[in-house]
Amino acid sequence: MKPIQLGCIADDFTGATDLANNLVRAGMRVLQTIGVPEGPLDVDVDAVVVALKSRTIPAADAVAQSLAALRWLQAAGSRQIYFKYCSTFDSTPQGNIGPVTEALMDALGCDFTIATPAFPDNGRTVFKGHLFVGDVLLSDSGMKDHPLTPMRDANLVRVLQAQCRRRVGLIDHRAVAAGQCAIRARIDELKAQGVAIAIVDAVSNDDLLRLGPALADLPLVTAGSGVAIALPGNFGLQPSAQASALPPASGLRAIVSGSCSQATNAQVAHFIAGGGVAHVLDPLRLARDRAGAVAEALALAEAQLPPGPVLIYSTAEPMAVAAVQAQLGTEGAGALVEQALAEVAQGLLRLGVRQLVVAGGETSGAVVQALGVRQMQIGPQIDPGVPWCHAFGNDGPLHLALKSGNFGSDDFFTKAFAQLA
């Protein structure tokens, strides 16, 4: 295996795909691995994204997993490390963004890094250190009611400082707008003040492209996926259609959706309104008879798959989610649904599905693990942050799209398959 140039660690599976997608669009050939690789890579690539499921686990476990990924990436020859988290910066008050960042800094002997979840293509912008989702502050967005990581403070300096022992500062929009030299001057100024991590403003792709060259010498970059559009140029790479080429698609088509985000609720509604075949998994029914509920969903799918696609979903509105959590517990309800949807995905592949869309970060993690997927080659973008991938699982090759809950247009489920046709 030839040395890789950029080594990436992502805190969930859809986030990893989101990052890989932006790197591919900017000219890098990218392989995403599910967990730390245990053997050689399937293909030679410019970047590897190690996908972990570490966003909501205990901070000590997230740190341990991230450091294991770092060691593998260093052994693979990586010249720079990229720690990727969600574009809504969602975490708990104790982490895991801060603890993982600081552990990576310690391991790399790094005295400064940046942090910015900005991804303007998906409506995530940072201004004066505050994160906006579309036209509203993070704290006024649907993320305030997220069932696992509710975000009720849009001030990222304050959010990250609560998780870190190092001092957190800000590189504001004025420095970013002035370009590479001004950004580096601001970094020097912050370091002189004892700041080790800086939130960076970005309200457009131009801001990210100005930021990229200023980061070339940093051992560690931490960000959402947006900064990735500006990094391949630091390695002498330019956009190329070859970077996203995948084998042709075949087989039946299906969708598995566990996300309860506003975006995914709209996508489920759009699919059903357009006449799509769909079956809902009721968590309370799953609690009584998971095997029976899964078998019922697969029986419907078997009857409807030709031509398909078929949607199996647990997606629900916040009030319905809260009612279920009140009866089953937040963690219990989430684990139950993830396990059931993973079993559904396994059943769908046995029925001949080879084009599969999965909606939701936690759901995607459970599904790819259940399918035995260990590596995915990243292909063309469907919507910002969501590409098609080609993978090998326990049942052979397949095309996968792992969609973060908050990403994608209302017609995402329909147009995803149209792109592969």
Chain-centroid distance of CA 386 in Å reads: 9
CA distance 158 to 128: 12
For tokens 């391949």, what's the residue? 232
Nearest-CA neighbor of 200 among 134, 112, 136? 112
Helix, strand, or coil (residue 192): helix
For residue 129, pLDDT over 90 is answered with yes
Q: Helix and strand tally (H, E) in the chain?
A: 13, 18
pLDDT tens column, 350-365: 999 999 999 998 898 8
In whole angstroms, how large is the CA radius of gyration of the chain? 21
β-bridge partners, 30: 47
- With the CA atoms of 288, 260, 201 and 109 taken in that order, what torsion angle do they form, in degrees rounded to the nearest 10? 20
Average pLDDT (312-330) is: 86
Query: Given a cut of 70, is residue 328 above it in pLDDT?
Result: yes
Q: Report yes or no: 221 and 364 within 8 Å, Cβ to Cβ.
A: no
**277 phi and psi, to 5 degrees?**
-80, 125
pTM of the predicted structure, to 2 decimals: 0.81
Determine what percent of the chain is predicted with pLDDT higher than 90: 74
Q: What is the C-alpha separation between 152 and 267, in angstroms, rounded?
A: 25
Query: Which of 299, 250, 246, 253 shows the shortest CA–CA distance to 276?
Result: 253
Segment among 24-28, 159-163, 247-251, 333-337 with least mean pLDDT:
333-337
pLDDT of residue 144: 79
Question: Which of 5, 137, 180 minimizes the C-alpha distance to 82?
Answer: 5
Question: Which residue carries 């997608």 as its tokens?
Answer: 21
Q: How far apart are CA 323 and CA 329, in angstroms?
A: 10
- Return all residues near 236 (Cβ < 8 A) that are at least 6 apart: none
Check whether 380 has a pLDDT greater than 80. yes
Query: What average pLDDT does the structure give for the chain?
Result: 93
Task: Tell me the CA end-to-end span of the chain in Å, nearest whole number.
Answer: 33
Q: Is the pLDDT of residue 149 over 80?
A: no
Ranking 169-178, 267-276, 281-290, 319-328 by mean pLDDT, the lowest is: 319-328
pLDDT, average across residues 387-391: 93
User: Which of 217, 152, 206 shows the shortest CA–CA distance to 184?
Assistant: 217
Q: What is the pLDDT of residue 147?
A: 67
Q: What is the DSSP letter of 142?
A: G
Beta pairing, strands 30-34 & 375-383: antiparallel
Paired strand residues for 191: none
